Amino acid sequence: MNQAVAKADPASAAGKGGAPRHVAIIMDGNGRWAKKRLLPRVAGHKQGVEAARRTVRAAGDLGIEVLTLYAFSSENWRRPASEIGDLMGLLRRFIIDDIDELAEAGVRLRVIGDYRALSPDIVSLIDSAIARTAENSRTTLVIALNYGAQDELVRAIRSFAADAVAGRIDPQTINDADVEARLDTSDLPPLDLLIRTSGEKRLSNFLLWQAAYAELMFVDTLWPDFDRDALAAAIGQFGQRERRFGGL
């Protein structure tokens, strides 16, 4: 068994009754939530932030080690400028308003994706929040910002290519563990459970490598309605699944 498969096969999650260490969520359905109520899309995004707050608190209470939230994809730049502005404004407010609570609750903040391409004031807020919570250990909150899994893999491939051209590595020796070490999530435990809300059944360029042996759950709940009970139900369902990682 190679190193990467061994990493993705923790004994605590190998069979029924195991609890996920790392849960990721594609937070989908804000726009449809608002449309159903004849509200502007920004109203759905605001309620989506409230759902994120509830879920982060619940993750800590339920013993989840890492919670990764897909907040803004590299493809979301295709949305109208006004909606992007609303989303960036909500991100600013979330960091400013919630950093004290996150720090006091023992939450460590991590960001994956090319967040440094965002506006300088947001980058500064993120860097400060990451530094402030770096020593916390109760729960790690990972926010995917300007993130795309294909871009993540391309960046890893480019780094291998540069090292190979410079003679620092032999391409024939590269294995899956080496790839994992160059991904944005290299310092995080394996992804156990990936949830997508709103009833859509696709990964949308999110954690494609990491999801190779993750349990996938597609729930009909629109993201603004997601809460502690919904997360607990997903964890309960995860505990009933058999995880064989290609074995018997």
Q: Which of 28, 98, 184, 192 is catalytic?
A: 28
Euclidean distance between CA atoms 241 and 247, whole angstroms: 14
Annotation-wise, does 128 bind a ligand?
A: no
Q: Give the burial class of 5: count Cβ atoms within 10 A of its Cβ; 0-12 exposed, 13-18 middle, 19 or more buried.
A: middle
In sequence order, the β-bridge partners of residue 111 are 143
The per-residue b/e assignment along 60-98, b for 16 or more CB within 10 angstroms, e otherwise, is bebebbbbbbbbbbbebeeeeeeeeebbbebbbebbeeb
Q: Establish whether 229 is an annotated binding residue.
A: no
Q: Does the annotation list 196 as a binding residue?
A: yes
* Residue 28 is a catalytic residue: yes
Residue 241 is assigned to a ligand binding site: no
Q: Is 178 annotated as a binding residue?
A: no
Task: Judge whether 45 is annotated as a binding position.
Answer: yes
Name the CA dihedral angle for 107, 222, 111, 236, rounded to a multiple of 10 degrees.
50
CA distances from 5 to 19, 170, 247 (A): 19, 22, 11
Look up residue 97 and give its DSSP letter: H
Residue 45 CA from chain centroid, whole number: 17
Residue 205, annotated as binding a ligand: no
Instruction: Judge whether 205 counts as a catalytic residue.
Output: no
Query: 9, 61, 76, 163: which one is catalytic?
Result: 76
How many CA atoms lie within 13 Å of 100's alpha carbon, on the beta-carbon side?
3
Q: Is 215 annotated as a binding residue?
A: yes
Between CA 182 and CA 115, with CA 91 as vertex, the angle to 5 degrees is 25
33 among the known binding-site residues?
Answer: yes
> Binding site annotation covers 74?
yes
On whether 32 is known to bind a ligand per the annotation, the reply is yes
Instruction: Report whether 194 belongs to an annotated binding site.
Output: no
Q: What is the DSSP letter of 57?
A: H
243 annotated among ligand-binding-site residues:
no
| Residue ranges of the binding site for substrate | 29-33, 41, 45, 73-75, 77, 79, 196, 202-204
Residues tagged active-site = 28, 76
| Residue ranges of the binding site for Mg(2+) | 28, 215
| Residue ranges of the binding site | 28-33, 41, 45, 73-75, 77, 79, 196, 202-204, 215
